[in-house]
Amino acid sequence: MATRNIDIKAFRSLSCGLYVVSAKGGDKVAGCIVNTFLQVTSTPARVTIAINKENFTTGVICEAGRFEASVLAESAPMELIGRFGFHTSADTDKFADTQHAIDPYGVPYVTEHSVAHFGVRVIDKVDVGTHYVFVGEVEDAEVLSDEQPMTYAYYHLVKGGKTPPKASSYEPAASGGAPDSAPAPAAESPRYGWRCMICGYVVEMDELPDDFTCPMCGVGRDMFERVEL
């Protein structure tokens, strides 16, 4: 058998954006962050997403046979990404505190900090192990703002964001280590804060209370590391 030589760093050179994929099936409404929304053909306009089988959104897409995808802008706050990327729709109404619109099929899609949205009908589903790849036909596409779309690199390098285990691009070896973004340049008298090692949320505070939980992803104090701001 041929030996494999896989350098995990090679995957980091792949470019992609950040999207909220949403679906509605019966009385279930769901949405999550993906970085795997991709146009694959233009005539007809077809797209794919790779989405973890354990995400609640995946089951709702399977049931409904359609989904919406909103393209996030660079201005999207970490709280919005945290809400859709680190919590599950199984027990959270993610749209309750999110500006959204409803498409002709009753599917909500995020409009705040969004550059465009796509209404998609699923035409195929490929089982790729941990994830399904949905192939879909675009039935509706609309520009929502002229903001810059957020790239995955921007999310990591500028926003200091992290990647949770269910994301297609998760790197187990990197998950518990040092933050993967460059720290801010040191000021003359350094300020200190705490960074969540799960989602990257930073709070400027000298000491974290024992009962502190991350407002973004919900983990406890022991998942925070002290950082210079």
Contact 86, 198 (CB under 8 A): yes
- Contact call for residue 22 and ligand FMN (CB under 6 A): no
152-158 long-range contacts (CB < 8 A, ≥24 apart) are 152/15, 152/16, 152/17, 152/18, 152/35, 153/15, 154/74, 155/18, 155/81, 156/180, 156/181, 157/181, 157/182, 158/74
Virtual torsion, Cα 210, 215, 220, 222, nearest 10 deg: -80
Q: Does 57 bind ligand FMN (CB under 6 A)?
A: yes
Measuring CA to CA, how many Å separate 53 from each of 109, 129, 199?
21, 9, 21
- Closest residue to ligand FMN in the complex (CB): 85
CB of 101 to ligand FMN, least distance (A): 19
Tell me the two tokens of residue 155: 């999310």
Smallest distance from the beta carbon of 186 to ligand FMN, in angstroms?
27
Residue 158 contacts by C-beta under 8 Å, 6 or more apart in sequence? Answer: 74, 181
> Binding of ligand FMN at residue 89 (CB under 6 A)?
yes
50 interacts with ligand FMN by CB under 6 A? yes
CB of 131: closest distance to ligand FMN in angstroms?
A: 6
For residue 84, the minimal CB distance to ligand FMN (Å) is 6
Nearer to ligand FMN, 192 or 215 (CB): 215
| Half-sphere exposure at residue 129, Cβ-oriented, CA atoms within 13 angstroms | 2
| Among the residue ranges 31-39, 138-146, 186-194, 203-211, the one whose residues contact ligand FMN (CB under 6 A) | 31-39
Question: Where in 197-226 is the site for ligand FMN (CB under 6 A)?
Answer: none
Closer to ligand FMN by Cβ: residue 43 or 177: 177
* Interface residues toward ligand FMN, by CB under 6 A: 18, 30, 32-36, 50-52, 55-57, 81, 85-90, 131, 155, 161, 163-164, 166-168
